[in-house]
Structure 1
Amino acid sequence: MGVTGIIGAMEEEVNILKSKMQVDAIIKKASMEFYKGILNGKEVVIVRSGISKVNAAVCTQILVDDFKICRVINTGIAGSLQNKIDIGDIVISSDAIQHDVDATGFGYELGVIPRMETSTFIADEGLVSLAKKVCEREIPDIKAHIGRVVTGDQFISDKSVKERIESNFHGYCTEMEGASIAQVAYLNQLPFVILRAISDKADDSAFVDYPTFEKKAIEHSVILVENMLKEL
């Protein structure tokens, strides 16, 4: 089974999981605290990466190098990019891409990272399938969607920006860490999945919706991760 790395961007996202685990060690590195131990009978390392792509990427590489993880689950919240995806729903990554990578001046398409074989990072099919099954069983009152997670160093709260991102990348949700974690996983040939509970619509209502629905969204993420671990 190996060690599963579980990354959340914010303390709220990982506190509940940490409170449920048997903590064997807390290792501090790069201003992050890595909680190593057992959750639901499985070896895990749970960590708050901090918000933004750089923090998330650094965190993922530390998990690979120092903890020898064999898979990574990134849990958190996001803004919906599709009308069919409501607040409270879960998006499970089919793949991930960065919307703020722009080398179009050199002839690349928007989102393409120059000199890489791919800029679209495909999630592990087994983890995606497991997440969908567990979500439908454990949280039957919400919908689980499998689709693209779109990442950038922006909190999207403008309808026109949301529409531009959706039009360019056809994403299901937008957030600030997932695709950078996916890129590090790809470079290390590591299976990954990104789980996002929808907290807002990524438009002009985002600042109103986000605080209201954040707590519920986090609860859904915790239920999903806990029950996925049981079946790994």
Structure 2
Amino acid sequence: MGAMREEVARLETALEGASEERQGPFRWLRGRLEGAEVLLAECGIGKVNAAALTQALLAAGARRLVFTGVAGAVDPALRVGDVVVSRDAVQHDVDVTGLGYALGEVPGTGTAWDADPALVAAARAAAAELPGVKVLVGRVASGDTFVADAATTERLRRDFDAACTEMEGAAVAQVCHRWGVPFVIVRSVSDSADHDAEVSFRAFTEVAAANADRVVRGLLRRLG
């Protein structure tokens, strides 16, 4: 699953025996990719869109979930095209500290949701095959905002120890956690989440998305 067309288009082209399925307003394709039966979907941007489609996919029988696409770098060592594989995911725009909860903690649910170790290992191994690409297993920080200033990026690094930031992954993680379904988030860096983020995002989304797609396909091959 990805949020934008650019993040799923290559995978859709490679899908074999694709057939369309619908549930209410949601649409996805069922087919085979790298020998695995998959459901491939585009959720739209933002946490609510991501959570809603995740719920629909899990209700349709998805047993594991891989969320893929591009992200802004928070770790200063990351460059455009590098890959982050989620160790866990947190919602950086949740703040109930006034009631005594930790920053980012969703009351009654948790602060961060751990990715599945087997999926993380498979994604990391697949990413390691990309030439000249740094691979980092770290925290994905999600929120309903496109981060485009250095001060916010520094706050995400300081408060959450985030590796990258995007707008959907932690919502997917939270729904998967509630269902008891394994997940992993695979993101490739399109920008540095600073004042140049918009320009970089528009220029490098295709490059970054292509790297993320390669990791997903390699992950599927490893899962058999």
Bucket of the pairwise TM-score, normalised by the shorter protein: over 0.9
**TM-fit CA distance, 1:30:** 4.5
TM-score of the superposed pair, with normalisation by structure 2: 0.96
Q: Tell me if the contact between 1:32 and 1:48 (Cα under 8 Å) persists in the aligned partners.
A: no
Aligned mates of 2:200, 2:134 — CA distance in 1 = 18
Look up the match of 1:8: 2
CA shift at 1:70, angstroms? 1.2
Question: In structure 2, the residue corresponding to 1:172 is in which secondary structure?
Answer: strand
Q: Name the aligned partner's letter for residue 161 of structure 2.
A: H
TM (norm. structure 1) is 0.93
- Selected match of 1:35 from 29, 35, 38: 29
Structure 1 equivalent of residue 63 of structure 2: 70
| 1:186 shift after superposition | 0.5
Q: Which of 50, 55, 60 is the equivalent residue of 1:61?
A: 55
- Confirm or deny that 1:182 pairs with 2:173: yes
Structure 2 residue identity aligned to 1:40: E
Name the SS for the 2:41 alignment partner: strand
Report what 1:131 is aligned to.
Answer: 123
145, 150, 156: which one pairs with 1:159?
150
* 1:105-116 to 2 correspondences below 5 Å: 105-116=98-109
Amino acid at match of 1:134: A
5+ residue gaps, structure 2: none
Separation in 2, partners of 1:107, 1:23: 51
- How far apart are residue 115 of structure 1 and its match? 1.9
Q: 1:86 — aligned with what?
A: 79
Find the aligned partners of 1:14 and 1:99 in 2 and give their Cα distance.
Answer: 25
Of 193, 197, 213 in structure 2, the residue corresponding to residue 202 of structure 1 is 193
What secondary structure, in the 3-state scheme, does the structure 2 residue paired with 1:113 have? coil
- Pairs aligned (count): 223
Instruction: Name the amino acid aligned to 2:79.
Output: D
Q: What's the RMSD between the two structures over aligned residues?
A: 1.1
SS in 1 for 2:71: strand
Q: Is the 8 A contact 1:76 1:221 kept in 2?
A: yes
State the distance in 1 between where 2:215 and 2:25 align: 27
Q: Compute the displacement of 1:23 (Å).
A: 3.5
Residue of structure 2 equivalent to 1:122: 114
SS of the residue 2:170 aligns to: helix
The equivalent position to 2:139 in structure 1, one of 133, 140, 148, is 148
SS at match of 1:229: helix
Alignment of 1:219 with 2:213, yes or no, is no
| Structure 1 pair 222–112 and aligned structure 2 pair: CA distance change class (3 A) | same
Aligned to 1:4: none
Q: Give the structure 2 partner of residue 95 of structure 1.
A: 88
Instruction: After superposing the two structures, state which structure 1 stretch, 148-157 or 10-19, moved more.
Output: 10-19
